[in-house]
Structure 1
Amino acid sequence: MVRRPPEETGETTERLGSVLLPRPDISPQRQVARRLLAALAVLWVTVLLVYLDRGGYVDNSDSDVTFLDCLYYTTVTLSTTGYGDITPASDSARLVNILVITPLRVLFLIILIGTTLEALTDRTRQQWRLNRWRSALRDHTVVVGFGTKGRSAVQTLLSTGLGRNQIVVIDPHGHAVKTANAEGFAGVEGDATRSEVLIRAEVQRAKQIVIAPQRDDTSVLVTLTARQLNPRINIVAAVREEENAPLLRQSGADQVITSASAAGRLLGLAMLSPNASSVIENLIQQGTGLDLKERPVTKAEAGRSPRDCPDLVVSIVRGHRILAFDDPEAAELQLTDRLVVIHRASRKGPEADIPRGGLR
């Protein structure tokens, strides 16, 4: 039997069904300051209203209602103390008390007990945010595992222009999900081998999923579950051992990356040819120096040789086959082909990439 990784729990202010949505982090001091300023604003608006209509009020101690009397009346009224020594006597003053001052009194009390009220309404607010997030989420990317591999994959996706709101992280550890949440990603805490956890991440509507857990058996189970929930999703999975790669492909993965053997090959290359290993390291780091990318053939390139392209063509993808740039079958590019090319990260667009001869 395959052992699944344990699911740890953790407290968070944005938890709802183990889904965490990013939000601005406001310190307690700022929250208290905001409420104090709002309370003072309500207090002074009420003082102004009473002072402007001071002729409609009666002071039992004397007949003159001063500004101090207005301030005193406002404080005892908003705090619902109400000693009764100053009272509205005219119809206009009473009408203002009914229509304006009473709602201000309620608002003042809400501000004072804002912490308690916020706690009571927090779940409703979270449910509303979660429903809005789910309704807007389409063709997004799910990343299973926010460890070293998962974070590197996320950084590469961000460097290609993918927005943070289009990435959902799944991890069984609460601290990893909190870290992803703090970086602006929606997070789901749970075991990704369980279908309900993947459903929380809306994998059934996702465009692609990156599977990078700590164990190979977990990768296989997540791949099987994701493929069952979304037959059209593009699955890229990582395994530690090369012998598990065929099993992962049979489980439904479109691309399988063997992390241990890939790292070993890079180490061996660094020993034999340090400069070549540096170039490869540069290529796999998106957004710096040279980038390796896949793009479609343009109309201007169709019917021409790969050597005539403005980019340095590495391979040609034709159907389900990958052809080398010097393959006789790839001597003439087709409009339906896709090219794996090297281009400069600092320049945008296929026509502005590496000039012909710039890398040759």
Structure 2
Amino acid sequence: MSSRTVLIGYNVRGRRVVAALRECGRTTGFTVVDSDPQRAEQAVMAGVHAVVGPCWRLRTLWLAGAHIADHIVVAVPDDDMAQRIISAVRSINDDATIITVARSSEQHQMVEYLGADHVVNVSQVDEWVPDAERPHDGGKAFADLEWTVMERAVTHDEIGCSPLDCRHQVLAVVRRGRRFWAEDPAVAVLRGEDRLLVVSPGSPKG
């Protein structure tokens, strides 16, 4: 049985998520939700089913199939809106895996409290990017940083480790063509032939 994914927010970050999921073979059961008709039209032109409407409204989320989705990615740039969306999603779907981005430790704690399962914290960018200068402003300089999901091979020092202990934030493990979420007991220990789906920061907006 194929899984169903709903992406909320078809901005630059959202488009990168779509591209990454397509590269990993996730081309079915995929829906975009955006309040901007033009962005929704861009999704349709790219061959992705889209629903237009306020992303936090239950009716919009229901039309997008969020109530039966397996995975929901919240890619809106506004933290308050992300909180509202996550709360609405969790109220109609207890089982979906929700992924989102937070820009502060307070936001991180709040979205986890509201029901997010995987939270990418912008203030932790220095921990994920090799040789990156450590931020001195709590991550504010990275407020507009775009994020992407990429697939990579398991490194030699990661073999035998849990995907949850890797240096980069691992969302899923691809093993023999099948994807498992990082917390799945089936992939408790990484193998050399595994591929990792990780969150990676892109370039700040110019």
**TM-score exceeds 0.5:** yes
Shift of 1:291: 3.3
Picking from 331, 334, 338, the partner of 2:187 is 338
| Structure-2 separation of matches of 1:269 and 1:250 | 32
Contact 1:139–1:205 (CA<8 Å) still a contact in 2?
A: no
Taking only aligned residues, the RMSD between alpha carbons, in angstroms, comes to 3.2
Counterpart-to-counterpart distance in 1, 2:75 and 2:154: 21
Q: Report how far residue 150 of structure 1 moved.
A: 1.1
Match of residue 132 from structure 2: 270
Q: Pairwise mapping of residues 236-251 of structure 1 onto structure 2 (< 5 A)?
A: 236-251=99-114
What is residue 89 of structure 2 aligned with on the other side? 226
Distance 2:52 2:99 in 1: 20
Gaps of 5+ in 1: 1-137, 273-283, 294-306, 325-335, 344-348, 354-360
Residue ranges of structure 2 left out of the alignment (5+ in a row): 135-148, 167-184, 196-206
Q: 8 Å contact 2:8–2:55 — kept in the other structure?
A: yes
1:313 and 2:192 aligned: no
Q: Secondary structure at the match of 2:56?
A: coil
1:140-194 CA distance string (max 9 Å, x none): 100001112211211121111111x321001111111011110000111111111
The number of residues matched between the two structures is 164
Other structure's SS at 2:159 match: strand
Supply the distance in 1 between the matched residues of 2:12 and 2:103 (Cα, whole angstroms).
13
1:248-291 per-residue CA deviation (whole Å, 9 max, x = no partner) reads 00000111112x3244555672359xxxxxxxxxxx632xxx33
Change in Cα spacing, 1:315 to 1:190, as seen in structure 2 (3 Å) is farther
What SS class does the counterpart of residue 132 from structure 2 fall into? Answer: helix
Alpha-carbon distance in structure 2 between the residues aligned to 1:252 and 1:235 = 7
| Alignment equivalent of 2:6, drawn from 142, 160, 166 | 142
| Aligned residues of 1:314 and 1:340 also touching (Cα < 8 A) | yes
Query: 1 or 2 for the larger relative contact order (CA 8 Å, sep ≥6)?
Result: 2
Q: CA deviation at 1:217?
A: 0.8
**Kept after mapping to 1: 8 A contact 2:126/2:132:** no
- Contact 1:172/1:190 (CA < 8 Å) preserved in 2? yes
**Aligned-pair identity (%):** 22
- 1:285 aligns to what? 150
Tell me by how many angstroms 1:339 deviates.
4.0
| Corresponding position of 1:257 | 120
The corresponding residue for 2:35 is: 172
Aligned partners of 1:173, 1:342: CA distance in 2, in Å?
43
Question: TM-score of the superposition, structure 1-length normalised?
Answer: 0.40
More strand by share: 2
CA contact (8 A) 2:33 2:53 kept: yes
Give the TM-score of the pair, scaled to structure 2: 0.67
Contact 2:31/2:64, CA 8 A, preserved across alignment: yes
**Larger deviation: 233-242 or 196-205?**
233-242
Partners of 2:126 and 2:133 within 8 A in 1:
no
Over 3 Å counting, the alpha-carbon distance change for 1:174 and 1:291 in structure 2 is: farther
Query: In structure 2, which of residues 50, 62, 67 is the aligned counterpart of residue 204 of structure 1?
Result: 67
Does the residue aligned with 1:177 lie in a helix, a strand or coil?
Answer: helix
Letter in 2 for 1:291: A
Q: Tell me, what secondary structure is at the counterpart of 1:162?
A: coil
Q: Is the 1:145–1:213 contact (alpha carbons within 8 Å) kept by the matching residues of 2?
A: yes
Query: Do the aligned partners of residues 167 and 340 (structure 1) sit closer, same or farther apart at CA in structure 2, a change above 3 Å counting?
Result: farther
The residue type equivalent to 1:238 in the other structure is V
Deviation (angstroms), 1:139: 3.3
| CA–CA separation in structure 2 for the residues paired with 1:174 and 1:140 | 22
Match of 1:157? 21
* TM-fit CA distance, 1:205: 1.3
**Matched residue SS, 1:228:** helix
For 2:23 and 2:108, the matched residues in 1 are separated by 27
